[in-house]
């Protein structure tokens, strides 16, 4: 018998109400790239084309913003968080 394994992507299991917690934990990491990677994973999971439509951003630009070669602009991050229904809060 051959056992076939498939890759597991935990982001695919996130419910909409868990996205904010997932991104919050990523944001709290000492490496800022962790948050950008997590946000990119959520964007891909939710659908780049749909989020591009909701945010008014270019689909190709979104792919480039999360390809790991460039840093997305704050405006892009802000629009995506808003479209995802995630509120960013600053606390002391």
**Rounded Cα distance, 17 and 28, in Å:** 19
pTM of the model: 0.85
Residue 41 near residue 72, CB atoms below 8 Å: no
Residue 30 lies in a domain: yes
Task: Please name the residue ranges forming H helices in the chain.
Answer: 19-27, 32-46, 48-55, 59-65, 74-84
The Cα 79–Cα 88 span in angstroms is: 11
Residue 63 within a domain: yes
Domains in the chain: how many in total? 1
Q: What is the mean pLDDT of residues 63-82?
A: 93
Model confidence over 24-34: pLDDT tens digits? 999 999 999 99
User: Which domain, by its residues, includes 31?
Assistant: 14-84
- 79 within a domain of the structure (yes/no): yes
* Contact indicator for 72, 38 with CB cutoff of 8 Å: no
For 30-69, how does the pLDDT look when each residue is reduced to its tens digit (9 = 90+)?
Answer: 999 999 999 999 999 999 999 999 999 999 999 999 998 8
Neighbours of 46 (CB within 10 A): 17
User: Is 1 contained in some domain?
Assistant: no
């Amino acid at each position: 018998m051959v056992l076939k394994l498939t890759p597991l992507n935990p982001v695919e299991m996130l419910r909409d109400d868990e996205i904010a917690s997932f991104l919050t934990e990523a944001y709290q990491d000492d490496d800022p790239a962790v948050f950008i990677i997590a946000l990119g994973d959520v964007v891909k999971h939710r659908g780049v084309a749909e989020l591009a439509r909701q945010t008014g951003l270019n689909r190709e630009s979104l792919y480039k913003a999360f390809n790991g070669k460039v840093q997305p602009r704050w405006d892009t991050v802000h629009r995506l968080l808003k479209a995802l229904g995630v509120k960013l809060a600053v606390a002391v």
